[in-house]
Amino acid sequence: MPTVYSKPMLTSLKQGARIAFIRKLRHISQPEFARLTGNMTSTGRNLICRYERTNRTPKPFKLKRFAEVLDVNIRMIEKYDFSNPADLFYVMLWMEELCPNFTIERHRLEGTMNESQRVLSEKYLEWQTMKKKYDTGKISFDEYWNWKLKKD
């Protein structure tokens, strides 16, 4: 009998929801994720559950291990504080999943761009190029999501 797979749903932009979404996208169960991330105690699955519910925040070394196991750029699963302008870019990538009709229009800025504007502009243009490839069938869903998850 064939296995039927449905894409997971992102429930919010909270750190735990993003970790759970990627874990499910990678077809990893909570007990397996607990084992792979070194939480091999009997409460390992419960700990993963608390992270995913955002009842507990992973320490930096644990978050790094999560990113390695999930094969993602750590920026996709860290908490965003927007002290780095690139955080806005990562939120935009997630907003596309949370709100499928979400769009952002980029307007050309007159004059010289500051560093934050330049970084966001470059990332936005690359994202739109990849999105267009996905929308026109030049790349698959998996290729598009792998690009998003590994984007630095």
Alpha-carbon span 146 to 140, nearest angstrom? 10
Q: Which pLDDT belongs to residue 109?
A: 60
Q: What angle do CA 22, 28, 100 make, to 5 degrees?
A: 30
Sketch the domain layout of the chain as residue ranges.
15-76, 86-150
Report which residue type is found at 8.
P
pTM over 0.85: yes
Pick out the chain residues at pLDDT < 70: 1-5, 42, 106-111
Q: Which pLDDT belongs to residue 5?
A: 64
Alpha-carbon span 16 to 12, nearest angstrom? 9
CB burial readout 66-98, b (16+ within 10 A) else e: bbebbebeebbbbebeeeeebebbbebbbebbb
Q: Which pLDDT belongs to residue 2?
A: 57
Q: Number of H helices and number of E strands within the chain?
A: 7, 0
Q: Which pLDDT belongs to residue 113?
A: 75
CATH label, 15-76, candidates 3.30.499.10, 1.10.10.10, 1.10.580.10, 1.10.260.40: 1.10.260.40
| Cα four-point dihedral sign 104, 66, 18, 15 | negative
Alpha-carbon span 121 to 143, nearest angstrom? 22
Q: Which pLDDT belongs to residue 42?
A: 64
